[in-house]
Chain A
Amino acid sequence: MSDTRLSVFKTYKLYVGGKFPRSESGRVYEVTDKKGNWLANVPLSSRKDARDAVVAARKAFGGWSGATAYNRGQVLYRVAEMLEGRKEQFVREVAESEGLSKAKAAAVVDAAIDRWVWYAGWTDKIAQVVGGGNPVAGPFFNLSSPEPTGVVVVLAPQESSFLGLVSVIAPVIATGNTAVVVASERAPLPALSLGEVLATSDLPGGVVNVLSGRTAEIATPLAAHQDVNAIDLAGAGTDDGLAKELEIAAADNLKRVLRPQPVDEVDWAATPGTDRMTAFLETKTVWHPTGALGASGSSY
């Protein structure tokens, strides 16, 4: 039976503000597997799609950054649960996109889901690790706490289409930022499918927005966008000229820039440190006087 059944293709769409629009440009481009076989037509995002994604991410920022860390952890864990349920799809997409065997692709997907769980557990711990009280020399209570920097543009790694992708998205949103993700240009399918997973998790719309298309074309207006607070250049790692150009554009409103690691140093399988979280955290330090026990001091 299955031999004769014609399969149903999926139309891959962008994921913006919790919805699945086509590119406003109406353009698509062909995505192929490693051998050059056609896999899908995916949206070729325009500057306007990028702009819409930033608007959605900004709109979602207040709610997501204001959610309790526990709540964010629960939501992220829910994403991992959903991923687990759709593992086979991701294994297939990763295998095709990256030219891996089923077994190797499965290992990558397992690692990606585990990575998501790892970050889910960080949401309510990072503040204790990087923040804390400061013993100032005076009658003041003084506390430093990390806060999300805002809207973060994430250029997903070009090669590691799923593990790499998860490794750059999860830390950004675990800490309360919202993200505009530019998927791997050559291998965007896992990213676009991830959007479908996020939509069915409890993640509020707009917290993660996924765009597919030409990285350089989408990233350029995003790097210059004045309502973007930070940019992760991981996906520009193979193109030094682009990375530099984007970093220069980012200087216009002093975006926090996470530079790409040199390609030969990247190992997405290694357990990450906290760097990808702290790169998109601000430190806020609050002072308040103490010492109002009594005008005469306390004798009690």
Chain B
Amino acid sequence: MASVFEYAPAPESRSIADIAPSYGLFIDGEFTEAADGKVFKTVSPSTEEVLSEVAQAGEADVDRAVKAARKAFDTWSALPGSERAKYLFRIARIIQERSRELAVLETLDNGKPIRETRDADLPLVAAHFFYYAGWADKLDHAGFGADPRPLGVAGQVIPWNFPLLMLAWKIAPALATGNTVVLKPAETTPLSALFFADICRQAGLPKGVVNILPGYGDAGASLVAHPDVNKVAFTGSTAVGKQIARTVAGTRKKLTLELGGKGANIVFDDAPIDQAVEGIVNGIFFNQGQVCCAGSRLLVQESIQEELLESLKRRLSTLRLGDPMDKNTDIGAINSEEQLSRITTLVERGEAEGAERWSPACELPESGYWFAPTLFTNVTQAHTIARDEIFGPVLSVLTFRTPDEAVAKANNTPYGLSAGIWTEKGSRILAVANKLRAGVIWSNTFNKFDPTSPFGGYKESGFGREGGRHGLEAYLDV
């Protein structure tokens, strides 16, 4: 697409992130090989280039890490809150200092645009540690009674879509409340967690307080099932979340789950249209749509469907897909081959079921995992693409006639994580927000996050909240 004003490549410098050829597990303050010596490769999804070789945790490593966390727990939980706070403040500051490096690293390992890691992920990561640092010595005032106690060892399993941010959501409140941590990053994005291990060392965090175990699902399952884990926190798919709930059944492990979604973005005929279009785009194309709270279902009032779709298509044509390291890239790579094939399968199902597929003219790079921004019209509630979480840059457009119908359709899903409302009528926002069965409602905005704002789902989107005062509860014996 040659245009008059063609932006020249503006690549962020790759050399700022110094990736070692291999990494170990981080257990008890040391990088170490896996007990069985296994390793796996982590690749850059935008080029398929191998970035590093990483030790792969197994059951024995999980046991070793849990023991280290257990050993560290007594001392760590006995520290005055004000001291724990200072460790977290140190971590927050070091993250700020190293944020450019971490943004580059995250973009390389995850495939998301540098613009997002730089402007969204990293600022939120640092802010999250700052926020929970301040709680560490104020837990008596958090509304959970006097002197609430930590649970012990937290086993945490995080996804690949926001590797470092999900780590922050898990580790910051756990440490602030006096727990120790064993965290398993996703197998496709282990690097930023390993860099975080280094940050823990720079901050002088006592050994064993944070342990990082790169690995696959089996390591996650071992961690969740480990008898000496007191708390399990998981972010990921609903299917795995259910399996974890079964695993911890009958134990005293406290469980919080942040799972899938099929968020409805509801646009009424009196919406601020240009901002709604931005919200729709942000809602489904932010992070290539690999966001649990994505606005993957657009519910548009039938009377403005044509006008809105026209604006939306025009806007999609301006999205810039390509090298995630280019500062002007809006849409980066899909995180893995596996995810790409899942998206492809669901999109093909959408076509087979009769929905109308549209994408802007868009050239996909030859190597790496890519999927063009895609929009489906003529979608009904019965279509697979209106029900299943696609976790990709694919928007299903449905229509409604009345606010009642909009609410009914929005709630007609086993999920309940997020929803959007676009209207200039205040009373309608409040009425609709009240009726939506979802944990986060964005009205006249979308995909906004803040450490002070509780996040989490209704129904099969999981339970428990992360962020804010509410986020402390998951890590306290209350």
- Counting chain A residues whose Cβ lies within 8 A of the other chain, the interface size class is 35 or more
Q: A253-B414, A254-B259 are in contact. Are A134 and B250 (CB under 8 A)?
A: no
In contact, B452 and A283 (Cβ under 8 angstroms): no
Q: How far is the CA of A138 from the CA of B438 in the complex (A)?
A: 22
Give Cα A287 to B455, complex, Å.
12
Partner of A285, one of B238, B444, B454: B454
A134 & B439 in contact (Cβ 8 Å cutoff): no
Taking a contact as CB atoms under 8 Å apart, the answer to whether B252 and A288 are in contact is: no
A253-B414, A253-B460, A273-B145 as given contacts; A288 in contact with B444, CB under 8 Å? yes
Knowing A287-B442, A288-B443, say if A138 contacts B246 (CB, 8 Å). Answer: no
Are B450 and A129 touching (Cβ within 8 A)? no
A285 touching B455, Cβ below 8 Å = yes
- Are A244 and B249 in contact, with the CB atoms below 8 A? yes
Of all A-B residue pairs in the complex, the 10 with the closest CB atoms, nearest first, are: A244-B250, A247-B249, A251-B245, A136-B450, A134-B452, A286-B441, A248-B249, A288-B443, A251-B246, A134-B453
Contact sample, A vs B, 6 pairs, CB 8 Å cutoff: A140-B445, A240-B250, A253-B459, A256-B463, A275-B478, A285-B454
Would B443 and A286 count as touching, CB distance under 8 A? yes
A287 in contact with B440 given A135-B452, A140-B448 (CB within 8 Å): yes
Query: B439 is contacted by which of A244, A275, A285 (Cβ under 8 Å)?
Result: A285
- The distance from the CB of B469 to the nearest CB of chain A, in whole angstroms, is 8
Residue of B nearest to A243 (CB): B250
Say if the beta carbon of B458 comes within 8 Å of chain A. yes
A88 interface residue (CB < 8 Å to B)? no
Answer whether residue A284 sits at the interface, using C-beta atoms and an 8 A cutoff: yes
The answer to whether the Cβ of B201 comes within 8 Å of any Cβ in the partner chain is no
Q: Does A142 contact B (CB under 8 A)?
A: yes
A window 253-294: CB within 8 A of B:
253-254, 256-257, 259, 273, 275, 282-289
Residue of B nearest to A230 (CB): B463
Partner of B252, one of A137, A149, A259, A273: A259
Residues of B within 8 A of A287 (CB): 440-443, 445, 448, 453
Chain A residues within 8 Å of B444, by CB: 288-289
| Chain B interface (Cβ < 8 Å from any Cβ of A) | 127, 143, 145, 238, 241-243, 245-246, 249-250, 252, 257, 259, 414, 429, 433, 436, 438-445, 448, 450, 452-456, 458-460, 462-463, 465, 468, 470, 478
Q: How far is the CA of A135 from the CA of B455 in the complex (A)?
A: 14
Q: B452 to chain A: which residues have CB within 8 Å? A: 134-137, 142
A130-147 vs B, Cβ < 8 Å mask (1 yes, 0 no): 100011111010101000
A282/B448 contact (C-beta < 8 A), A247-B249, A248-B249, A252-B242 known: no
- Measured between beta carbons, the chain B residues less than 8 angstroms from A229 are 459
Q: Is the Cβ of A254 less than 8 Å from the Cβ of B462?
A: yes
- Whether the Cβ atoms of A137 and B249 lie closer than 8 Å is no
B145 and A254 contact, CB distance less than 8 A: no
User: How many Å lie between the Cα of A249 and that of B340 in the bound state?
Assistant: 32
Instruction: Annotate A227-256 by CB proximity to B: 1 below 8 A, 0 otherwise.
Output: 001000000000010011001101111101
Flag if B439 contacts A136 (CB, 8 Å).
no
**Known pairs A251-B243, A284-B438. 20 more at Cβ < 8 A?**
A134-B450, A137-B452, A138-B448, A144-B453, A144-B454, A144-B468, A144-B470, A149-B458, A229-B459, A243-B250, A254-B242, A254-B245, A254-B462, A257-B249, A283-B439, A283-B454, A284-B433, A287-B442, A287-B445, A289-B444
- Residue in chain B with minimal CB distance to A274: B143
State whether A254 touches B470 (Cβ < 8 A): no
Of B143, B250, B414, B429, which is within 8 A of A129 by CB?
B143
Q: Which residues of B contact A243 (CB under 8 A)?
A: 250
Contact A285 B440 (CB under 8 A): yes
Nearest CB in chain A to that of B453: its residue: A134
Determine which of A137, A248, A254, A288 lies in contact with B450 in the assembled complex, contact meaning CB atoms within 8 Å. A137
Complex formed: what's the CA distance from A289 to B443 in Å? 8
A-side contacts of B448, CB under 8 Å: 136, 138, 140, 287
C-alpha gap A229/B459 in the complex (Å): 7
Which A residues lie within 8 Å of B458 (CB)? 149, 282, 284
A129–B127 Cα distance when bound, in Å, is 25
Docked pose: A289 CA to B448 CA in angstroms: 10
The answer to whether B445 and A254 touch across the interface, beta carbons within 8 angstroms, is no
B468 neighbours in A (Cβ, 8 Å): 134, 144
- Determine if B463 and A254 form an interchain contact, defined as CB atoms under 8 angstroms apart: yes
Which residues from chain B contact A251 at a C-beta distance below 8 Å? 242-243, 245-246, 249
Of A135, A136, A283, which contacts B465 at CB under 8 A? Answer: A283
Task: Say yes or no: B445 contacts A248, CB within 8 Å.
Answer: no
Chain B residues within 8 Å of A256, by CB: 463
Residue of B nearest to A140 (CB): B448
- Closest A residue to B244 by CB, please name it: A251
Contact of B441 among A136, A140, A248, A284 (CB under 8 A): A284
Bound complex: CA A282 to CA B441 (Å)? 13
Whole-angstrom CA separation of A256 from B436 in the bound complex: 19
Most buried by A among B243, B249, B462, B465: B249
A285: chain B residues within 8 A (beta carbon): 439-441, 453-455
Set of chain A residues within 8 Å of B440, measured between Cβ atoms: 284-285, 287
B439/A288 in contact, CB under 8 A: no
CB neighbours of B443 from chain A (8 A)? 286-288
Which chain A residues border B459 with CB–CB below 8 Å? 229, 253-254
